[in-house]
């Protein structure tokens, strides 16, 4: 086990205990997909990590780890290799859910990514070698939150850490000093240097719940087109606030339309969470569920009003 951070014996013991708590649930995932090369179909092997979230064999990993795979093999930390089947996936968040037929498997303790703070210890754990070796562990801190990253697609709301995340660790857990999973490591940026990214576990839980219930991730839809209020825009148009999400257009018969929102309204909070930009609004909605009723506070002229909106599914 290699730990890439100069630390005191106290913190070393803390990190070792955190790894020991989580590692039994961390698995190796090896895949085979078939691609055409020079007019021939050839098998291409892939490798990644994942972690067990239920004792009967539900496993979280990255979508890009299993994308296009015909064969998925899972090797547990105690050396068992089993066939895995893909239950569902969500390319937008880079999350996939796998199932193996087993019982009494060790599960990962799940934390709360909404409580994260910049500077907290972050431990990236993977199992890239399977039967050939033990865990791969790197240690750093949370260096930024709510990062939006453009790779194959736009990934939003990511945790940024200086704990190195290599492709073999992709899909494994990012954990805090208590050994609780706070994110799913994703090696989506092959040339990133000195930084890694993880999908917040609270968003992952929502995606997993949707997959188990509906077979796919559901996107809650508000039904507005908007832009970010800046001090410059506020001064030019005489707006009552310098931050918020300005409603530019309302989609007819959308949840926003039904709730009485109008063009020109400035959304400043959702369920008492402050909204300072259109990105803030998008990030909050991504964590909500279809059918959930949310409370929106907004400015209409100089008056602050509120309305309740029932979110619908985005098709």
Compute the distance between CA of residue 308 and CA of residue 130 in angstroms, rounded to an integer: 50
Q: Read off the tokens for 145.
A: 């939150």
% helix, strand, coil for the chain, step of 5: 20, 45, 35
Q: Which of 43-57, 131-145, 164-178 has the lowest mean pLDDT?
A: 131-145
**What average pLDDT does the structure give for the chain?**
87
Interval 174-187 mean pLDDT = 93
Band (2; pLDDT cuts 50, 70, 90): very low
R_g of the chain, CA atoms, integer Å:
22
pLDDT at 189: 66
| Residue 109 or residue 71, greater confidence | 109
Active site residue 265: no
Domains of the chain: 9-23+108-214 (2.40.10.120), 24-100 (2.40.10.120), 219-314 (2.30.42.10)
How far is residue 81 CA from its own chain's centroid? 27
Please give the average per-residue pLDDT across 50-65, as a whole number: 95
In this predicted structure, the answer to whether residue 143 has a pLDDT above a threshold of 70 is yes
pLDDT score at 282: 86
Q: Cβ–Cβ contacts within 10 Å for residue 94, how many?
A: 28
Catalytic status, residue 90: no
- Once rounded to an integer, what is the mean pLDDT over residues 49-75? 93
Question: Which residue of the set 30, 143, 170, 269 is catalytic?
Answer: 170
CA neighbor of 123 nearest in space, from 173, 168, 197, 69 = 173
Catalytic residue among 25, 49, 77, 94: 94
Q: How crowded is residue 291: how many other Cβ atoms within 10 Å of its Cβ?
A: 11
The label of the residue with tokens 């492709």 reads 167
Mean pLDDT, rounded, for 69-73: 88
- The answer, as to whether pTM is greater than 0.85, is no
Q: One of 25, 64, 77, 90 is an active-site residue; which one? A: 64
Q: What percent of the chain has pLDDT over 90?
A: 59
Residue 64 appears among annotated catalytic residues: yes
Interval 55-69 mean pLDDT:
93
Which pLDDT score, from 0 to 100, does residue 268 have? Answer: 95
Is 72 within 8 Å of 66 (Cβ atoms)?
yes
The predicted pLDDT at position 119 comes to: 93
**DSSP string computed for 235-278:** HHHT-S-SSEEEEEEE-TTSHHHHTT--TT-EEEEETTEE--SH
């Amino acid at each position: 086990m290699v730990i890439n951070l100069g630390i005191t014996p106290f913190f070393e013991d803390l990190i070792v205990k955190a790894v020991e708590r989580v590692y039994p649930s961390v698995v190796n995932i090896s895949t085979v997909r078939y691609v055409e090369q020079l007019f021939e179909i050839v098998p291409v092997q892939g490798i990644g990590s994942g972690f067990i979230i239920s004792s009967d064999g539900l496993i979280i990993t990255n979508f890009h780890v299993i994308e296009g795979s015909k064969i998925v093999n899972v090797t547990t930390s105690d050396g068992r290799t089993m066939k895995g089947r893909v239950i569902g996936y969500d390319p937008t968040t880079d999350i996939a859910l796998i199932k193996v037929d087993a019982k009494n498997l060790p599960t990962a303790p799940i934390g709360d990514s909404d409580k994260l703070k910049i500077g907290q210890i972050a431990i990236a754990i993977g199992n890239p070698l399977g039967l050939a070796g033990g865990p791969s562990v790197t240690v750093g801190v949370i260096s930024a939150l709510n990062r939006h990253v453009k790779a194959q697609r736009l990934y939003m709301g990511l945790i940024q850490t200086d704990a190195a995340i290599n492709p073999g660790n992709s899909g494994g857990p990012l954990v805090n000093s208590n050994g609780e999973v706070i994110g799913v490591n994703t090696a989506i940026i092959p040339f990133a240097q000195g930084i890694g990214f993880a999908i917040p576990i609270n968003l992952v839980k929502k995606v997993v719940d949707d997959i188990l219930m509906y077979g796919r991730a559901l996107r809650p839809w508000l039904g507005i087109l908007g832009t970010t209020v800046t001090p410059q825009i506020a001064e030019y148009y005489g707006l009552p606030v310098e931050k918020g999400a300005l409603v530019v257009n309302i989609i007819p018969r959308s949840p926003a339309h039904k709730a009485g929102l109008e063009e020109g309204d400035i959304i400043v909070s959702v369920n008492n969470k402050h909204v300072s930009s259109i990105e803030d609004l998008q990030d909050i909605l991504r964590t909500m569920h279809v059918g959930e009723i949310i409370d929106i506070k907004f400015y209409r002229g100089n008056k602050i009003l509120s309305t309740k909106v029932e979110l619908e599914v985005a098709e």
